[in-house]
Chains A and B, each alone.
Chain A
Amino acid sequence: MQQIFSPADYPDLLVGLGAPDDAAVWKVGEQRALVVTTDFFTPIVDDPYDYGAIAAANSLSDIYAMGAEPFLALNVAAIPPQLPPEIISEIFRGGAEKAKEAGVVIAGGHTVQDKEPKYGLVALGFAHADRFLTKSGMRTGDILFLSKPIGSGVITSAIKADKITHEEAIETIAWMKRLNRDASRLAMKYGACAATDITGFSLLGHAWEMASASGVGLQFHYDAIPFYPHAEKLALEWCFPGGGFDNAEHFGAYVKFAAEISQERQMLLFDPQTSGGLLFALPVDKAILCQQEALLSGIPLWQVGKVTQSKLIEVV
Protein backbone atom coordinates (compact mmCIF):
# COMPACT_ATOMS: atom_id res chain seq x y z
CA MET A 1 0.00 0.00 0.00
CA GLN A 2 2.87 2.35 0.76
CA GLN A 3 3.85 2.30 -2.94
CA ILE A 4 0.53 4.00 -3.71
CA PHE A 5 -0.25 5.89 -0.47
CA SER A 6 2.56 7.90 1.08
CA PRO A 7 2.13 8.31 4.88
CA ALA A 8 3.35 11.92 4.57
CA ASP A 9 0.25 12.78 2.52
CA TYR A 10 -2.07 11.68 5.35
CA PRO A 11 -0.95 13.42 8.55
CA ASP A 12 -4.24 12.61 10.32
CA LEU A 13 -3.85 8.86 9.69
CA LEU A 14 -2.33 7.86 13.04
CA VAL A 15 -2.33 4.08 12.45
CA GLY A 16 -2.67 2.36 9.09
CA LEU A 17 0.14 2.62 6.60
CA GLY A 18 2.93 1.71 9.03
CA ALA A 19 3.29 -1.50 11.03
CA PRO A 20 0.16 -3.71 10.75
CA ASP A 21 -2.35 -3.27 13.58
CA ASP A 22 -5.90 -4.30 14.49
CA ALA A 23 -7.61 -1.22 13.00
CA ALA A 24 -6.87 2.08 11.25
CA VAL A 25 -6.95 5.25 13.37
CA TRP A 26 -7.77 8.68 11.90
CA LYS A 27 -7.53 11.88 13.95
CA VAL A 28 -10.78 13.86 13.71
CA GLY A 29 -10.15 16.53 16.38
CA GLU A 30 -7.79 17.61 19.14
CA GLN A 31 -9.22 14.99 21.48
CA ARG A 32 -10.80 12.43 19.22
CA ALA A 33 -9.81 9.77 16.69
CA LEU A 34 -11.96 7.55 14.50
CA VAL A 35 -11.08 3.83 14.56
CA VAL A 36 -12.11 1.76 11.50
CA THR A 37 -11.93 -1.96 10.84
CA THR A 38 -13.60 -4.78 8.91
CA ASP A 39 -13.63 -8.55 9.23
CA PHE A 40 -15.80 -11.40 7.91
CA PHE A 41 -15.56 -15.17 7.66
CA THR A 42 -17.31 -18.38 6.61
CA PRO A 43 -19.55 -20.26 9.10
CA ILE A 44 -17.67 -21.84 11.99
CA VAL A 45 -20.66 -23.18 13.93
CA ASP A 46 -23.89 -24.83 12.74
CA ASP A 47 -26.38 -22.42 14.31
CA PRO A 48 -26.91 -19.37 12.04
CA TYR A 49 -27.76 -17.07 14.95
CA ASP A 50 -24.57 -18.02 16.81
CA TYR A 51 -22.55 -17.61 13.61
CA GLY A 52 -23.88 -14.06 13.13
CA ALA A 53 -23.23 -13.16 16.77
CA ILE A 54 -19.68 -14.58 16.73
CA ALA A 55 -18.84 -12.78 13.47
CA ALA A 56 -20.11 -9.48 14.90
CA ALA A 57 -18.25 -9.92 18.22
CA ASN A 58 -15.12 -10.77 16.24
CA SER A 59 -15.40 -7.64 14.05
CA LEU A 60 -16.02 -5.38 17.05
CA SER A 61 -13.09 -6.96 18.87
CA ASP A 62 -10.64 -5.11 16.60
CA ILE A 63 -12.12 -1.81 17.86
CA TYR A 64 -11.81 -2.93 21.49
CA ALA A 65 -8.24 -4.08 20.85
CA MET A 66 -7.38 -0.45 20.02
CA GLY A 67 -8.81 0.72 23.37
CA ALA A 68 -11.72 2.37 21.51
CA GLU A 69 -15.53 2.22 21.84
CA PRO A 70 -17.49 1.12 18.75
CA PHE A 71 -20.67 3.03 17.81
CA LEU A 72 -21.52 2.35 14.14
CA ALA A 73 -21.32 -0.65 11.81
CA LEU A 74 -22.36 -1.98 8.40
CA ASN A 75 -23.09 -5.59 7.47
CA VAL A 76 -20.84 -7.30 4.90
CA ALA A 77 -22.28 -10.58 3.64
CA ALA A 78 -22.11 -13.19 0.89
CA ILE A 79 -25.12 -15.48 0.67
CA PRO A 80 -25.69 -18.58 -1.53
CA PRO A 81 -28.89 -18.12 -3.57
CA GLN A 82 -30.34 -21.45 -2.32
CA LEU A 83 -29.93 -20.58 1.39
CA PRO A 84 -33.43 -20.45 3.01
CA PRO A 85 -34.53 -16.91 3.94
CA GLU A 86 -35.08 -17.85 7.59
CA ILE A 87 -31.42 -18.95 7.89
CA ILE A 88 -30.25 -15.67 6.32
CA SER A 89 -32.35 -13.60 8.70
CA GLU A 90 -31.02 -15.57 11.69
CA ILE A 91 -27.42 -14.72 10.70
CA PHE A 92 -28.28 -11.01 10.48
CA ARG A 93 -30.32 -11.14 13.70
CA GLY A 94 -27.37 -12.71 15.56
CA GLY A 95 -25.09 -9.94 14.30
CA ALA A 96 -27.61 -7.17 15.02
CA GLU A 97 -28.37 -8.27 18.58
CA LYS A 98 -24.65 -8.56 19.35
CA ALA A 99 -24.08 -5.07 17.92
CA LYS A 100 -26.95 -3.68 20.00
CA GLU A 101 -25.45 -5.26 23.14
CA ALA A 102 -22.24 -3.37 22.31
CA GLY A 103 -24.13 -0.08 21.90
CA VAL A 104 -23.51 -0.16 18.15
CA VAL A 105 -26.09 0.58 15.46
CA ILE A 106 -25.92 -1.35 12.17
CA ALA A 107 -26.93 1.25 9.60
CA GLY A 108 -26.94 -0.80 6.40
CA GLY A 109 -24.43 -2.87 4.51
CA HIS A 110 -23.93 -4.87 1.36
CA THR A 111 -24.72 -8.46 0.36
CA VAL A 112 -23.51 -10.38 -2.70
CA GLN A 113 -24.21 -13.90 -3.93
CA ASP A 114 -21.50 -16.50 -3.39
CA LYS A 115 -21.20 -20.28 -3.09
CA GLU A 116 -20.24 -20.22 0.59
CA PRO A 117 -21.81 -17.85 3.16
CA LYS A 118 -19.64 -15.09 4.56
CA TYR A 119 -20.59 -12.55 7.20
CA GLY A 120 -19.00 -9.80 9.23
CA LEU A 121 -19.05 -6.09 9.92
CA VAL A 122 -17.37 -2.88 8.94
CA ALA A 123 -17.07 -1.26 12.36
CA LEU A 124 -16.32 2.28 13.48
CA GLY A 125 -15.36 3.45 16.93
CA PHE A 126 -14.01 6.48 18.73
CA ALA A 127 -10.78 6.65 20.70
CA HIS A 128 -8.95 9.45 22.46
CA ALA A 129 -6.55 10.94 19.90
CA ASP A 130 -3.55 10.52 22.21
CA ARG A 131 -4.60 7.42 24.10
CA PHE A 132 -5.32 4.31 22.10
CA LEU A 133 -3.69 0.89 22.14
CA THR A 134 -1.44 -0.47 19.40
CA LYS A 135 0.67 -3.61 19.30
CA SER A 136 3.78 -1.69 20.31
CA GLY A 137 4.67 -0.06 23.62
CA MET A 138 5.15 -3.05 25.93
CA ARG A 139 7.93 -2.58 28.49
CA THR A 140 10.14 -5.12 30.21
CA GLY A 141 8.60 -6.28 33.48
CA ASP A 142 4.98 -5.61 32.42
CA ILE A 143 2.43 -8.30 33.24
CA LEU A 144 0.51 -10.01 30.41
CA PHE A 145 -3.26 -10.44 30.64
CA LEU A 146 -5.56 -12.58 28.47
CA SER A 147 -9.37 -12.19 28.51
CA LYS A 148 -10.61 -15.47 26.94
CA PRO A 149 -9.41 -19.09 26.94
CA ILE A 150 -7.54 -20.67 24.00
CA GLY A 151 -8.57 -23.58 21.78
CA SER A 152 -11.51 -22.44 19.64
CA GLY A 153 -9.80 -23.67 16.45
CA VAL A 154 -9.51 -27.18 17.89
CA ILE A 155 -13.13 -27.08 19.09
CA THR A 156 -14.59 -25.85 15.78
CA SER A 157 -12.52 -28.48 13.89
CA ALA A 158 -13.89 -31.13 16.24
CA ILE A 159 -17.47 -29.96 15.58
CA LYS A 160 -16.87 -30.30 11.81
CA ALA A 161 -15.30 -33.75 12.28
CA ASP A 162 -18.18 -34.84 14.59
CA LYS A 163 -15.71 -35.50 17.39
CA ILE A 164 -17.66 -33.52 19.97
CA THR A 165 -21.35 -32.84 20.44
CA HIS A 166 -23.04 -29.47 20.26
CA GLU A 167 -23.51 -29.62 24.04
CA GLU A 168 -19.79 -30.12 24.59
CA ALA A 169 -19.06 -27.06 22.43
CA ILE A 170 -21.68 -24.77 23.99
CA GLU A 171 -19.28 -23.13 26.45
CA THR A 172 -16.75 -22.36 23.70
CA ILE A 173 -19.51 -20.91 21.49
CA ALA A 174 -20.63 -18.66 24.36
CA TRP A 175 -17.05 -17.40 24.78
CA MET A 176 -16.70 -16.68 21.04
CA LYS A 177 -19.92 -14.64 21.20
CA ARG A 178 -18.63 -12.66 24.16
CA LEU A 179 -17.59 -9.02 23.57
CA ASN A 180 -14.10 -7.90 24.56
CA ARG A 181 -15.61 -4.65 25.85
CA ASP A 182 -15.03 -5.19 29.58
CA ALA A 183 -11.43 -6.29 29.05
CA SER A 184 -10.78 -3.28 26.80
CA ARG A 185 -12.21 -0.85 29.37
CA LEU A 186 -10.11 -2.41 32.14
CA ALA A 187 -7.00 -2.21 29.96
CA MET A 188 -7.67 1.49 29.30
CA LYS A 189 -8.58 2.31 32.92
CA TYR A 190 -5.33 0.85 34.24
CA GLY A 191 -3.16 2.43 31.57
CA ALA A 192 -2.31 -0.54 29.36
CA CYS A 193 0.77 -0.01 27.23
CA ALA A 194 -0.25 -2.25 24.31
CA ALA A 195 -3.00 -4.65 23.25
CA THR A 196 -4.20 -6.91 20.47
CA ASP A 197 -6.93 -9.50 20.02
CA ILE A 198 -6.06 -13.17 19.57
CA THR A 199 -7.39 -14.46 16.25
CA GLY A 200 -6.10 -16.51 13.31
CA PHE A 201 -2.37 -16.22 14.05
CA SER A 202 -2.86 -17.94 17.45
CA LEU A 203 -1.79 -16.86 20.93
CA LEU A 204 1.91 -17.18 20.14
CA GLY A 205 1.66 -15.64 16.65
CA HIS A 206 -0.10 -12.54 17.91
CA ALA A 207 2.21 -12.45 20.93
CA TRP A 208 5.16 -12.40 18.55
CA GLU A 209 3.59 -9.52 16.58
CA MET A 210 3.35 -7.52 19.80
CA ALA A 211 6.83 -8.49 20.99
CA SER A 212 8.50 -7.57 17.71
CA ALA A 213 6.51 -4.31 17.41
CA SER A 214 7.56 -3.40 20.96
CA GLY A 215 11.17 -4.62 20.67
CA VAL A 216 10.81 -6.95 23.68
CA GLY A 217 10.32 -10.64 24.48
CA LEU A 218 7.41 -12.36 26.23
CA GLN A 219 7.38 -15.22 28.69
CA PHE A 220 4.21 -17.31 29.07
CA HIS A 221 3.50 -19.76 31.88
CA TYR A 222 1.77 -22.73 30.27
CA ASP A 223 -0.10 -23.63 33.45
CA ALA A 224 -1.50 -20.09 33.68
CA ILE A 225 -3.02 -20.19 30.18
CA PRO A 226 -6.77 -21.02 30.21
CA PHE A 227 -8.16 -23.52 27.67
CA TYR A 228 -11.70 -24.28 26.54
CA PRO A 229 -13.29 -27.48 27.87
CA HIS A 230 -12.15 -30.53 25.83
CA ALA A 231 -9.48 -28.55 23.93
CA GLU A 232 -6.53 -30.27 25.62
CA LYS A 233 -8.13 -33.71 25.16
CA LEU A 234 -8.72 -33.02 21.43
CA ALA A 235 -5.15 -31.71 21.08
CA LEU A 236 -3.88 -35.09 22.28
CA GLU A 237 -5.73 -36.57 19.28
CA TRP A 238 -4.13 -33.94 16.99
CA CYS A 239 -7.53 -32.50 16.10
CA PHE A 240 -5.95 -29.27 14.81
CA PRO A 241 -7.22 -27.11 11.95
CA GLY A 242 -4.78 -26.61 9.06
CA GLY A 243 -4.08 -23.02 10.12
CA GLY A 244 -2.42 -24.30 13.29
CA PHE A 245 0.27 -26.02 11.28
CA ASP A 246 0.78 -22.84 9.24
CA ASN A 247 1.19 -20.84 12.45
CA ALA A 248 3.65 -23.36 13.92
CA GLU A 249 5.73 -23.21 10.76
CA HIS A 250 5.57 -19.41 10.46
CA PHE A 251 6.12 -18.40 14.10
CA GLY A 252 7.91 -21.47 15.47
CA ALA A 253 11.35 -19.95 14.92
CA TYR A 254 10.57 -17.16 17.40
CA VAL A 255 9.32 -19.43 20.18
CA LYS A 256 11.33 -21.38 22.75
CA PHE A 257 9.43 -24.05 24.68
CA ALA A 258 10.54 -25.60 27.96
CA ALA A 259 11.50 -29.25 27.41
CA GLU A 260 8.54 -30.64 29.38
CA ILE A 261 5.91 -28.98 27.16
CA SER A 262 4.66 -31.71 24.80
CA GLN A 263 4.26 -31.34 21.03
CA GLU A 264 0.46 -31.33 21.42
CA ARG A 265 0.55 -28.55 23.99
CA GLN A 266 2.90 -26.56 21.77
CA MET A 267 0.47 -26.95 18.86
CA LEU A 268 -2.41 -25.78 21.05
CA LEU A 269 -0.65 -22.46 21.53
CA PHE A 270 -0.47 -22.17 17.71
CA ASP A 271 -4.20 -22.95 17.37
CA PRO A 272 -5.95 -20.25 15.27
CA GLN A 273 -8.65 -18.52 17.31
CA THR A 274 -12.00 -17.09 16.27
CA SER A 275 -13.20 -14.09 18.25
CA GLY A 276 -10.45 -14.69 20.80
CA GLY A 277 -9.57 -12.65 23.86
CA LEU A 278 -7.56 -9.48 24.27
CA LEU A 279 -3.89 -9.79 25.15
CA PHE A 280 -2.57 -6.70 26.91
CA ALA A 281 0.25 -5.65 29.19
CA LEU A 282 0.19 -3.59 32.40
CA PRO A 283 2.94 -2.39 34.75
CA VAL A 284 3.16 -4.56 37.89
CA ASP A 285 1.50 -2.09 40.31
CA LYS A 286 -1.43 -1.52 37.94
CA ALA A 287 -1.68 -5.24 37.20
CA ILE A 288 -2.54 -5.97 40.85
CA LEU A 289 -5.29 -3.33 40.92
CA CYS A 290 -6.66 -4.47 37.56
CA GLN A 291 -6.81 -8.11 38.66
CA GLN A 292 -8.62 -7.06 41.85
CA GLU A 293 -11.25 -5.10 39.93
CA ALA A 294 -11.71 -7.95 37.45
CA LEU A 295 -12.33 -10.36 40.32
CA LEU A 296 -14.78 -8.03 42.08
CA SER A 297 -16.70 -7.24 38.87
CA GLY A 298 -16.72 -10.81 37.57
CA ILE A 299 -14.74 -9.91 34.43
CA PRO A 300 -12.76 -12.93 33.16
CA LEU A 301 -9.04 -12.14 33.08
CA TRP A 302 -5.97 -14.33 33.37
CA GLN A 303 -2.36 -13.34 34.13
CA VAL A 304 -0.51 -15.48 31.63
CA GLY A 305 3.06 -14.19 31.69
CA LYS A 306 5.33 -11.17 31.58
CA VAL A 307 7.36 -8.97 29.26
CA THR A 308 11.08 -9.76 29.12
CA GLN A 309 14.24 -8.45 27.46
CA SER A 310 14.85 -11.67 25.53
CA LYS A 311 13.48 -10.57 22.10
CA LEU A 312 11.80 -13.97 21.80
CA ILE A 313 8.69 -15.78 23.01
CA GLU A 314 9.35 -18.27 25.80
CA VAL A 315 6.84 -20.78 27.15
CA VAL A 316 7.77 -22.26 30.52
Chain B
Amino acid sequence: MNIVDARGLSCPQPVILAQKAIVKGEFPIEVYVDTVTSRENVRRMAEKQGCKVEIVQQDDEFKLVLTR
Protein backbone atom coordinates (compact mmCIF):
# COMPACT_ATOMS: atom_id res chain seq x y z
CA MET B 1 0.00 0.00 0.00
CA ASN B 2 1.26 3.43 -1.02
CA ILE B 3 -0.38 6.66 0.14
CA VAL B 4 -0.14 10.00 -1.68
CA ASP B 5 -1.60 12.93 0.24
CA ALA B 6 -2.14 15.70 -2.33
CA ARG B 7 -4.74 17.62 -0.33
CA GLY B 8 -4.20 21.37 -0.41
CA LEU B 9 -2.03 21.13 -3.53
CA SER B 10 -3.05 22.50 -6.91
CA CYS B 11 -2.46 20.91 -10.30
CA PRO B 12 -0.14 19.76 -11.70
CA GLN B 13 1.34 18.83 -8.28
CA PRO B 14 -1.18 16.04 -7.39
CA VAL B 15 -0.73 14.52 -10.86
CA ILE B 16 3.06 14.63 -10.52
CA LEU B 17 2.99 12.99 -7.08
CA ALA B 18 0.58 10.28 -8.21
CA GLN B 19 2.68 9.64 -11.31
CA LYS B 20 5.79 9.19 -9.14
CA ALA B 21 3.94 6.59 -7.07
CA ILE B 22 2.84 4.75 -10.23
CA VAL B 23 6.45 4.63 -11.44
CA LYS B 24 7.50 3.16 -8.07
CA GLY B 25 4.92 0.47 -8.77
CA GLU B 26 3.75 -0.41 -5.25
CA PHE B 27 0.07 -1.05 -5.87
CA PRO B 28 -2.56 -0.38 -4.69
CA ILE B 29 -1.96 3.37 -4.44
CA GLU B 30 -4.29 5.64 -2.46
CA VAL B 31 -4.31 9.26 -3.62
CA TYR B 32 -6.06 11.89 -1.51
CA VAL B 33 -7.17 15.14 -3.20
CA ASP B 34 -9.61 17.90 -2.26
CA THR B 35 -10.76 19.38 -5.56
CA VAL B 36 -12.80 17.94 -8.43
CA THR B 37 -10.19 19.22 -10.89
CA SER B 38 -7.38 17.33 -9.15
CA ARG B 39 -9.55 14.23 -8.87
CA GLU B 40 -10.28 14.25 -12.60
CA ASN B 41 -6.69 15.02 -13.63
CA VAL B 42 -5.25 12.24 -11.46
CA ARG B 43 -7.94 9.83 -12.67
CA ARG B 44 -7.28 10.55 -16.34
CA MET B 45 -3.50 10.38 -15.95
CA ALA B 46 -3.77 7.05 -14.10
CA GLU B 47 -6.17 5.59 -16.67
CA LYS B 48 -3.85 6.67 -19.49
CA GLN B 49 -1.07 4.87 -17.60
CA GLY B 50 -3.14 1.69 -17.63
CA CYS B 51 -4.42 1.79 -14.01
CA LYS B 52 -7.87 0.92 -12.77
CA VAL B 53 -9.23 3.82 -10.70
CA GLU B 54 -11.83 3.62 -7.94
CA ILE B 55 -13.05 6.91 -6.46
CA VAL B 56 -14.46 7.29 -2.94
CA GLN B 57 -15.89 10.62 -1.81
CA GLN B 58 -15.29 11.47 1.87
CA ASP B 59 -17.04 14.75 2.75
CA ASP B 60 -15.28 17.42 0.62
CA GLU B 61 -12.34 15.17 -0.18
CA PHE B 62 -11.72 12.30 -2.56
CA LYS B 63 -9.77 9.09 -2.24
CA LEU B 64 -8.62 7.51 -5.50
CA VAL B 65 -7.53 3.88 -5.30
CA LEU B 66 -5.23 2.97 -8.18
CA THR B 67 -4.67 -0.67 -9.04
CA ARG B 68 -3.09 -2.55 -11.90
One digit per residue, 1 when the CB lies within 8 angstroms of any chain A CB and 0 when it does not, for chain B 11-51 equals 11101101110000000000000000100110011001100
Closest to B9 in A: A161
Q: Which of B10, B11, B15, B44 contacts A248 (CB 8 A)?
A: B44
Q: Smallest CB-CB separation from A245: which chain B residue?
A: B44
B20: chain A residues at CB < 8 Å are 237
| Total residues of chain B contacting the partner, CB 8 A | 16
- Asked if A111 is an interface residue, CB under 8 A from chain B, the answer is no
Tell me whether B19 and A238 are in contact (CB under 8 A): yes
Q: Do residues B12 and A157 form an inter-chain contact, with CB atoms below 8 A?
A: yes
Give CA–CA (A111, B33) in the complex, Å.
Answer: 36
A140 and B50 alpha carbons, distance in the complex (Å):
36
Q: Does A263 sit at the interface, judged by CB under 8 A?
A: yes
Hey, which chain B residues are within 8 Å of A241, CB to CB? 11-12
CA distance A241 to B10 in the complex (A): 10
A239–B12 CB distance below 8 A: yes
* Residues in B neighbouring A263, C-beta threshold 8 A: 48-49
Interface size of A by Cβ–Cβ distance < 8 Å? 17
A223 within 8 A of B: no
Inter-chain CA distance A210–B25, complex, in Å, is 40
Residues of B within 8 A of A266 (CB): 48
Query: Are B45 and A242 in contact (CB-based, < 8 A)?
Result: no
Q: Is the CB of A245 within 8 A of B10?
A: no
Residues of A near B37 (CB, < 8 A) are 242
A242 touches B11 (CB 8 A): yes
Contact B19 A237 (CB under 8 A): yes
Question: Scoring A residues 165 to 201 as 1 if CB is less than 8 Å from chain B, else 0, what string do you get?
Answer: 0000000000000000000000000000000000000
> Within 8 Å CB of A32, what residues of B?
none
Contacts of B48 on A, CB cut-off 8 Å? 248, 263, 266-267
A204 smallest CB distance to B (angstroms): 15
Judge whether B44 and A238 touch: CB under 8 Å.
no
Using A242-B11, A248-B48, A267-B48 as known contacts, say yes or no to A161 and B40 having CB atoms under 8 A apart.
Answer: no
Q: Chain A residues with Cβ under 8 A from B44's Cβ? A: 245, 248-249
Complex alpha-carbon distance, A248 and B37, angstroms: 15
- Ordered by A's residue number, 10 sampled pairs between the chains whose C-beta atoms are within 8 Å are A161-B16, A237-B16, A237-B19, A238-B12, A242-B37, A242-B40, A248-B44, A249-B44, A263-B48, A266-B48
Given contacts A160-B10, A163-B16, A241-B11, 4 further A-B contacts (CB under 8 A): A161-B12, A242-B40, A245-B40, A248-B48
